[in-house]
Amino acid sequence: MPTYSPTGRAFAALAALFTVIGLSRHVSWHAHTLDMAYYARLVWGLGHGDPSQPVIDAPHLLGLHFEPILLPFAALSRLGLPATPLLLCVQALAGAAAIFPAHALARRHLPAHALPVALCVFLVPAFGRNLDFDFHPNTLAVWPLLAFVNALDAGRTRAAALWFALALTCREDVGLQGAAAALLFPGLGLRARLAFAGAGLLWFGAYAALIQPAFAHGHPRSSLAQHFGMLGVPVDAGLPALLAGLAAQPGAVMRHLATLDRLLYLPALLATTALLPLRAPRLLGGALPIIGVNLLSGFDGVRDLDSHYLTAATPFLYAAAVVGAGTLPEAPRAARRLAWVFALAFVLCARPWPWTRLRALFPDADTAAARAAAAQIPPDAPLVAPSEILAHLAERPRVYHRWFAPDDPTLWRITPEWVVVPATARDRRGDGAAAP
């Protein structure tokens, strides 16, 4: 019989665990996430030739992000595979695969405890918490980004280039992360440093300067407006206008950054890794663009330590902590301390707490009510629904989250109390009201 390495067995167990948890929450209708519906509709729309994103009332997906890694999933959606289970399963596999570069890095710097330390990457709140119910391409990026850092640490620049190319397909801002990581990474040759930084900046810059402004939309609840509108800078014309607006008022930006939660953000982040990244700070380079954007953002919850807005920083936080622990004279003791701090941080920061989240794996009365409401909606009917149910109904031409829905009497509506308001009832009322 074939034998498998401990790392391979850990990968299989983690992939099975994340798959079961993600699908269980979806099947029990307890995912409660707008972003899952967003990406299910995006993948379905790409597969059916529709680049709009009606979930948030955006006319074109290229005005939001550049995520070519979703194209294969769009092709599978076109063949009839349901988008949400497909994305959850792929994310479970990609997330579990982070064990391989995490273990390789730990084996070089903390060989006595390599596998337990490698498992700590799943205890980073922004990574582990987002593997169990939601979907984001930046969660997929954790594996190739960590493999990129591991290859650089091992001196294998060609392998690093391949992993970086894969990571770039996940999202445009990965280019900024790779550029910052390469510029600061210790021991990297000048030619490789400039090549990685140039490729990353070109990837991000081409999208930010050429693509995104051409497709940006001025919706008052667009992503840029929600994150940066409170700064009083123009956001309708895309990222270049936003950056120019920030540069024009440095005093206002500094006052914006001087709030207590922003001042405590970086210390709290380092505390979740036992402050060990301070012993290898140059490995944090790839996390800096993510941290900087989160500090500027005014969106609710963006600075929560388990937020998906922080997920793509996970490889660099983990790598800096592991390398930092390996520099200590008592490395084995540091490895144990690192594992305990990671575990404590996950329990304290991952909301809701793990034992509360267990209940979400099983159907209940709310599940039955949500299913009954969804069953009343005709196939392909245009609709408005809350986050709790939207991912199950997202694969259709017109589907809106209730925050972004137009005032259109032809839309079917599901209220947060699971009351279904048919389009015909709204037509008879003639006032677009959301009550039956």
219 assigned to some structural domain: yes
Residues 138 and 35 in one domain: yes
Give the count of domains, the chain: 2
- Whether the full predicted model's pTM is greater than 0.85, yes or no, is yes
Among 358, 378, 406, where does a domain finish? 358
Same domain flag for 333 and 376: no
Q: In terms of domains, do 64 and 166 share one? A: yes
Tokens of 67: 């995520």
**Cα–Cα distance for residue pair 183/14, rounded to 1 Å:** 33
| 436 in any annotated domain | no
What contacts 37, CB < 8 A, 6 or more positions away?
Answer: 55, 387, 390, 391, 393, 394, 399, 401
Most distant CA atoms of the chain, gap in Å: 77
Q: Could you tell me if 279 and 410 lie in one domain?
A: no
Would you say residue 94 lies in a domain? Answer: yes
- Residue that finishes a domain, picked among 340, 358, 376: 358
* Residue 134 maps to a domain: yes
Instruction: Determine, yes or no, domain membership for 161.
Output: yes
274 inside domain: yes
The tokens for 101 are: 């570069």
d(CA 76, CA 337): 44
Residue 434 lies in a domain: no
Query: Residue 164's pLDDT is what?
Result: 98
Give pLDDT tens digits along the chain (436 positions).
Answer: 455 799 999 999 999 999 999 999 999 988 778 899 999 999 999 999 999 988 988 888 888 899 999 999 999 999 999 999 999 999 999 999 999 999 999 999 999 889 999 999 998 989 988 887 789 999 999 999 999 999 999 999 999 999 999 999 999 999 999 999 999 999 999 999 999 999 999 999 999 888 888 887 655 556 666 677 666 666 665 677 777 777 778 888 888 889 999 999 999 999 888 888 999 999 999 999 999 999 988 888 899 998 999 999 999 999 999 999 888 887 677 777 777 777 777 766 755 555 456 778 888 888 999 999 999 999 889 999 988 889 999 999 999 998 888 888 889 999 888 888 888 654 444 333 333 3
List all residues 6 or more positions away from 41 whose beta carbon is below 8 Å from its beta carbon.
53, 54, 55, 83, 394, 395, 399
Do residues 294 and 422 share a domain?
A: no
330 and 371 inside one domain: no
Q: Measured between alpha carbons, how far is 426 from 413 in angstroms, rounded to an integer?
A: 9
Which structural domain range is residue 386 located in? 365-429
Give the chain's end-to-end CA distance (angstroms, integer).
63
Both 373 and 237 in a single domain? no
Please indicate, yes or no, if residue 1 is contained in any of the structural domains. Answer: no
297 and 253 belong to one structural domain: yes
Q: Are residues 74 and 36 in the same domain?
A: yes
Q: Which of 339, 358, 377 is the last residue of a domain?
A: 358
267 and 378 both lie in a single domain: no
Nearest Cα residue to 311 out of 340, 347, 350? 350
Residues 19 and 101 grouped into a single domain: yes
Contacts of 226 (CB under 8 A, 6+ apart): 298, 299
Q: Are residues 352 and 384 in the same domain?
A: no
